[in-house]
Amino acid sequence: MSFIDRLVLWAFCLMLPGLSQASYQCGIRKHSFVQLVHHGWTVEEGQWPWHVAIFQKQRGSSGDYACGGTLLDEKHVLTAAHCAVNRETEYALPPSKFELHFGQQNLSTITPNVQIRDVSKVHIHPDHSSHRNDIAVLVMRLPVRYTDYVIPICIDQKADINLRNLEGERGWITGWGTTQTGSISDALRTASLPVVSYLQCFNDNEAVFGNLLNENVFCAGDRNGTSPGTGDSGGGMYFSDGDRWVLRGIVSFAKADELKKVVDTSKFVIFVNVQRFLTWIREIIADNTPQSEKAPQRISERGTHHVTSSAGRTSEKFIGKSKTKSGVRFE
């Protein structure tokens, strides 16, 4: 092979990563799947390519699986705030504590499709406290490479979408949470849940949900054992929107089973309403994106977005006023 041939081949190889990234669009999988946690189905490779396994590093070990998350773009992962804070102080854990796994199917197996990244920044919502504003963004030190098994999800651009339009619609959840046996699932599993009204959720358990229901969250569940389990926290709830998938919720909170001290799968689950936090999410992405890269970046197929506010805060309008009692997050 001549020097010129080698030079041409080298230049072509340099171009491949850019072409590869451009060929993937948010929320669109490269393979078709038949949509069949508790009473859920095992996920096929590439079925939910935006789902992320969040590990927390321990002293003397590579880390333990902690929570789920959702890939927004090459460098940002959305998860629940309680997955990224110290349980006692509620302060953000240091970035060095986290390890993110993309394209993972089984927790015990690292295949060639898996990409592992460290975290450089941890953003907890400024109004997070206890079960409120339970949302966080993890910024990766190095970007992921999009493949058939690692693709970002879309975030709907209509921040004021009325949740009533989603009532009765079924969204999909996925994770490695506890199964019927009470142990963490090694295989990634998935299930669908219907969104229910605030009133239905409130009436299900006023003592638990009464002080938690506001416009920043929504309820979902079948109350038949199909539910997120301990370990599914931080994972997303996805809805089909034509040819793409859109992130609408983050697994946050549910009532505890007093005897088993785990999630009561016969009750509804509270999800963070992602639409209420779009401005805050966009600000973080903009702050962590070099100016030269901002123009082509987008997190929705409906076009680029623009930051319109520097506050990034959300107001709460409570539906109920009862004192919160026994509940559990999905750690």
Query: What CATH code is carried by the domain that includes residue 90?
Result: 2.40.10.10
User: What's the pLDDT at 43?
Assistant: 84
Across the chain, what does the average pLDDT equal? 78
In the predicted structure, residue 261 carries a pLDDT above the cut 50: no
- Are residues 66 and 84 part of one domain? yes
* Together in a domain, 281 and 266: no
Interatomic CA distance for residues 218 and 213, integer angstroms: 7
| 284 and 149 share one domain | yes
Asked if residue 43 belongs to a domain, the reply is no
Range of the domain at 266: 163-275+321-329
Looking at the fold, whether 282 and 257 belong to one and the same domain comes out as no
How many folded domains does the chain comprise?
2
Residue 59 has a pLDDT of 74
Tell whether 197 and 325 lie within a shared domain.
yes
Q: Is residue 14 part of a domain?
A: no
At residue 185 the predicted structure's pLDDT band, cuts being 50, 70 and 90, is confident
Same domain, 269 and 281: no
Residue 16 has pLDDT above 50, yes or no: no
What pLDDT, in 10s, does the model give residues 161-178? 677 888 999 999 999 876
Residue 288 and residue 264 share a domain: no
Residue 29 lies in a domain: no
Taking residues 2-24, report their average pLDDT.
Answer: 51
Instruction: Tell me: do 141 and 168 sit in the same domain.
Output: no
Tell me: the pLDDT tens digits for 71-100?
999 999 999 999 999 988 989 999 999 999
State the SS3 of the chain: CCHHHHHHHHHHHHHHHHHHHHCCCCCCCCCCCCCCCCCCEECCCCCCCCEEEEEECCCCCCCEEEEEEEECCCCEEEECHHHCECCCCCCECCHHHEEEEECCCECCCCCCCCEEEEEEEEEECCCCECCECCCEEEEECCCCCCECCECCCECCCCCCCCHHHHECCEEEEEECCECCCCCECCECEEEEEEEECHHHHHHHCHHHHCCCCECCEEEECCCCCCCCCCCCCCCEEEEEECCEEEEEEEEEEECEECCCCEECCCCCEEEEEHHHHHHHHHHHHHHCCCHHHHCCCCCCCCCCCCCCCCCCCCCCCECCCCCCCCCEECC
Are 220 and 325 within one domain? yes
Percent of the chain clearing pLDDT 70 (strictly above)? 68
